[in-house]
Structure 1
Amino acid sequence: MTRMLASVTGPQEAEIALAGGADIIDVQNPAEGAQDHAAVIRATAQAIGGRRPVSALAGDLAMPADGLRAAVRAVATAGADMVRLRIVPGEGLANRLDRLAKAASGARLIGVFPAEAAPGLSLLPALRRAGFAGAMLDTRDKASGHLLDHLGLPRLLGFVEDCHANGLEAGLAGSLEPPDVPRLLVLSPDLLGFRGALCGAGDRMGPLDLARVQAIRGLIPPDLPAGGDVDYRLLAARGYAPAATLPDGPVDRVFVEDLVLPVFIGAYARERDAPQAVRFSVSAWVARGGRAAEDMRDVFSYDLITDGIRLLTGSGHVGLVETLAERIAAMVLAHPRVARVMVRVQKLDTGLGTVGVEIERSRAAARTLSPPLVQPLAEAAGFGHTRS
């Protein structure tokens, strides 16, 4: 289950975030001093009254040790259930983790890595040993672009997997917008964090807007309930479907054409030494929903195709274009609304002109396909999940 973190400036915005369905209320007000920040945290926590967990930033891990522990203690005692600490590149950071968990007074510690710099993921085991509950990626300079401008899907998937391997929750944030949500959901992060997308006109300095909070909430599927009605549009990005069969009716063709990526591919030994330019074209015939498309819940995004290709090609050397084409087809067909798929894979650097393969597969045929790595990668991308 992926939870929604909404950053607010105080009690008034916290009520809007709660009304919109946010799972975690994050208090941030960087324009004020530390004492004022603690007061805002306290007021917000009192207003929430335990209805949702409260998160807040305490400072940088590079702060002097005594000051860092005091900052963590102040934020925790003000009422934060989750205390975030920015992790900036530098030497000896692991030594600063000592005694932070005790200073947190029972609050859960979250390390925040800057997306602009190469995340120091070697610190993840040290975070866990120090009692941290999770780690996040976030953009520190909001003018520098959003998360996906700095880190591609394979890197983000690696971050989530490394966090989970170390027993840490994984969070993703950084000027996220509505179209980013289905793309990131497939990585199965434990939380997604938002500010600007929740504000009027998308301006993070403006006030929270209830309709925008609700729109983001609607894109993040809740955990499946034991009974009752489910809006499966919310779950489509994660591969859930109300039935194994596709509904009768019209289909739309969602396509990606002429996507060129560097790929380690080929049967010759020399083809393992360097990547080759490979061009991909994919068409997916997708069952149309029961109403006109109004938002991201109603569509099968072409980003899911391009992101999936990047995840598959980033998993290691592939011997044959036919193998890669089958893996892409199986991944796309694992989405419950896709009835048929065409995949064309072309190698551009052979010196023999453009060579490759084009295949067409249907959902019925996909049930018989089990090429190596397809299911693990499809599951890593969030497709084909089942729940009992």
Structure 2
Amino acid sequence: MQVLVSVNSVAEAQLVLSAGVPLIDLKDTSHGALAALTLDLSTAIVDTVHQYRQQSAATGIVISATVGDHCEAVDELMHMITSRLQIGVEVIKLPETIWADPGYQPLIATLLGQGLKLIAVLNPASLLADELPARVQWLAQQHYWGVMVDTTQKAKALVDIVPFAALADFVQAAKSVQLFVGLAGGLSLAHIELLAGLQPDYLGFRSGLCEGEQRAQALLPERVRELISRVSEIC
């Protein structure tokens, strides 16, 4: 099991890289759930990751980015995605408000057909719906690279919103169709052992690594290091 950490600055990227975090997620953590960082800041962070790769010969580091909680038009979504691919982002995360909208699906299908790695982000409520297995299978048929669940409101942790059995069913459904599956949403260090038992491909963190567990605050180095230490012991 790997860990994903959302970063919003070059300094945070340097911190998580030095700690050994393999999945680096670019996100504006000041508002929204999947708000996009500016292109200039995203470029600076991607360049930092590339430099680290060259200097350390590190392999297995993946850069992902969000493109916003909503989009006004197909052209806007196309720009948000392609502009980030051009600077070196490797995986794009799409919220359910976008990937499940029929208006965006022709564009998304084209991008998937070109081999773009997309992660479909589900809302917690979707994990409780009867049609979840069918939706996960549809994502696999469309050639999505991965699927994850993340909370939109960070006041409560994912484990306090979705029953453990539903999380287990989600992970199993995704793995049965070879989707790279992740769990995220207000997770803290205390949740690692519990969720690792479900064997997701990764757990996503932000607020639980920040001062006061407030995602808009900076990452705390000691918590990032403890995260990697705990995961290494378990996995």
TM-score relative to the length of structure 2:
0.82
Q: What's the counterpart of residue 17 of structure 2?
A: 18
Out of 108, 116, 134, the residue aligned to residue 117 of structure 2 is 108
Partner of 1:129: 141
Letter in 2 for 1:125: Q
Inter-CA distance 30–37: structure 2 relative to 1 (3 Å threshold) = farther
Opposite residue 47 of structure 1, the aligned amino acid is T
Where in structure 2 are there 5+ consecutive unaligned residues? none
> Would you say how many aligned residue pairs link Structure 1 and Structure 2?
220
2-structure distance, mates of 1:55, 1:207: 19
Aligned in 2, Cα 1:6/1:162: closer, same or farther, shift over 3 Å?
same
1:138 and 2:147 are equivalent in the alignment: no
The equivalent residue for 1:29 is 28
TM-score (norm 1): 0.52
Q: Structure 1 counterpart of 2:19, which letter? A: G
Match of 2:105 in 1: 97
Deviates more, 1:38-47 or 1:168-177: 38-47
**Percent of residue pairs identical:** 26
* Separation (CA, whole Å) in 1 of partners of 2:196 and 2:29: 28
Q: CA deviation at 1:88?
A: 3.4
Contact 1:109 1:133 in 2 (8 A): yes
Structure 1 residue 114: deviation in Å? Answer: 1.3
Q: Which has the higher helix share?
A: 2
Change in CA separation of 1:65 and 1:129 when aligned onto 2, cut-off 3 Å: farther
| Mapped contact 1:59–1:68 kept (Cα < 8 A) | no
Matching residue of 1:188: 199
Larger RCO: Structure 1 or Structure 2 (Cα < 8 Å, ≥ 6 residues apart)?
2
Within the alignment, does 1:45 sit opposite 2:46 as a pair? yes
For each residue in 1:34-60, what CA deviation from the matched residue of structure 2 results, as whole angstroms up to 9, or x when unmatched?
896222221111011045211111135
- Determine helix, strand or coil for the equivalent of 1:74: helix
Whether contact under 8 Å (1:88, 1:114) holds in the other structure is: no
Q: Which runs of 5+ in 1 are unaligned?
A: 222-233, 239-388
Larger strand share, 1 or 2: 1
Larger radius of gyration: 1
Is the alpha carbon distance of 1:181 and 1:81 closer, same or farther for their aligned partners in structure 2, counting shifts above 3 Å?
A: same
One-letter amino acid of the counterpart of residue 11, structure 1? V
What letter matches 1:98 in structure 2? P
Correspondence for 1:74: 83
